[in-house]
Amino acid sequence: MTWIGRSLLISILLSAACAGWAQDAATTQATASAYIAPIDLIRVASANELAALGDSAPKHAFRSVKRHAQGSQTRLYVETRDAMVAMTIAYDDKPLTPQQLQGEEDHLNYLLHDPNALRAKQAREAEDADRTRRILKALPDAFLYDYDGSEPGTAEIARPGITLMRLRFRPNPDYSPPSRIEQALTGMQGHVLLDASQHRLALFDATLNKDVSFGWGFLGHLDKGGNIVLRQAALDDGSWSLNRLKMKFTGKILIFKSLNVDSDEVLDQFRPVPADTTFAQGVEMLRTSLAADARR
């Protein structure tokens, strides 16, 4: 059977199995596991997540609040066809001073009027997107999966009113990372939550069970015990978006420089923007939003 045919069959079986999932999760899990291996669920979900990263994906404006040991940072974002527009609006929940705000404006103007600067930003975002695609593509091969019960969906995890499949995972000893980007996966174990009816990944919670080397643009290693949590949910327009990224890692960069990451970022206040929004239009949207908030 071709991969397309096999994927279609999996989707049909999965949809049928999930029709009664919310009514009797234990029975449905047994039904699903009798026909569908966990790895096949992951393959379908991984393929959907990769497809959702395409250029045709709906675009949004949103807010981010990132908290770490030094305090917090609140930023506004607008996704555009050119690059992400971003502006800090608060530190430690306090609005920027006029001088700080002017610095943010100066940076946006720099990007608006220097094509080389904007191209450099586009290149960085393309590299980030490529790393994300590599990790998503690796999920079916890097781990071994088992059914591990169910959890309810919420407004923050997938969507309310549904029951999510829970799969636990551990490193696949036969997996050989194709590059240093995927190397960190060889030391991770944890669990995922799947919205099986829409074949989407709602939660990825992984902890390092050993020290691992990595290659996210530089050489180094991550210490055992590090943790990463990625959470996403359905938006009002039917698309999905990441709404939380929590990371806690220690390690070394280039052997001698210490690495200590401990942050928890929550994204909210999503609203759609036109698919053909330019970077300049995104900047104007952001400024208009700030002006409206200032008048309230």
Q: What is the pLDDT of residues 6-39, one digit of tens each?
A: 333 334 344 434 444 444 444 444 445 446 789 9
Tokens describing residue 24: 């009797």
pLDDT of 222 over the 80 cut: yes
pLDDT of 170 over the 60 cut: yes
Write down the pLDDT at residue 119. Answer: 96
Segment 219-229 mean pLDDT = 86
pLDDT of 148 over the 90 cut: yes
Portion of the chain with pLDDT greater than 70, in percent: 84
Tokens describing residue 226: 């590090």
Write down the pLDDT at residue 189. Answer: 96
Segment 97-108 mean pLDDT = 95
Rounded to 5 degrees, φ, ψ at 292 are -65, -40
Residues 227 and 247: their CA atoms lie apart, in Å, by 6
Matching residue, tokens 């949004």: 60
Write down the pLDDT at residue 27. Answer: 44
Answer with the residue of higher pLDDT: 281 or 254. Answer: 281
pLDDT of 145 over the 90 cut: yes
- Identify the bridge partners of residue 241 per DSSP, sorted by sequence position: 233
Write down the pLDDT at residue 36. Answer: 79
Write down the pLDDT at residue 55. Answer: 74
- Identify the bridge partners of residue 249 per DSSP, sorted by sequence position: 261
Write down the pLDDT at residue 161. Answer: 94
Residues 71 and 49: their CA atoms lie apart, in Å, by 32
Residues 192-212 have pLDDT tens digits of 999 988 999 999 999 999 988
Q: What is the pTM of this model?
A: 0.84
Answer with the residue of higher pLDDT: 201 or 258. Answer: 201
Write down the pLDDT at residue 180. Answer: 80
Residues 180 and 217: their CA atoms lie apart, in Å, by 9
Write down the pLDDT at residue 7. Answer: 39
Query: 286: part of which helix (H) or strand (E)?
Result: helix 279-295
Decide if 18 contacts 28 (C-beta within 8 A).
yes
Write down the pLDDT at residue 236. Answer: 92
**Where do the structural domains in the chain lie, given as residue ranges?**
3-295
Answer with the residue of higher pLDDT: 205 or 223. Answer: 205
